[in-house]
Amino acid sequence: SVQEFMTFTSQLIVERSELGSRASVKEQEYLCHVYVRSDGLAGVVIADNEYPQRVCFTLLDKVLDEFSREVSRVDWPSGSPATISYQSLDGYLSKYQVGHP
């Protein structure tokens, strides 16, 4: 499924990335943009080739900054969507998915 592809690909890219790094990796017809902060918190945006790379990294910066303020660091390693409440993500996704800001 698409969800399984996104989850597997995201985990693989994060595991292969160094702390404090940003990268864009082509996977099938998508570009996967990863940001792994120096504290180990990571995010991935999977977008088509048309979506601007700069915008993807702006989104990752905003989401990871806010997430790190709202969610206790002790919950990061073991957390999942079922155990961590982070309501702001849906708003960011809807803002950034329609057209190119």
Q: Where are the domains of the chain?
A: 2-97
* Dihedral sign, Cα of residue 97, residue 2, residue 23, residue 25: negative
CATH, range 2-97 = 3.30.450.50
Q: pLDDT of 31-84, one tens digit each?
A: 999 999 999 999 999 999 899 999 999 999 999 999 999 999 999 988 888 888
Distances (CA, A) of 92 to 11, 45, 78, 95: 21, 12, 23, 5
Task: Please report where in the chains the tokens 């303020």 appear, as a residue.
Answer: 69
pLDDT at position 101, please? 46
Residues in Cβ contact with 68 at an 8 Å cutoff, skipping those fewer than 6 apart: 37, 39, 41
Output the pTM of the full model. Answer: 0.87
Q: If you count them, how many residues does the chain have?
A: 101
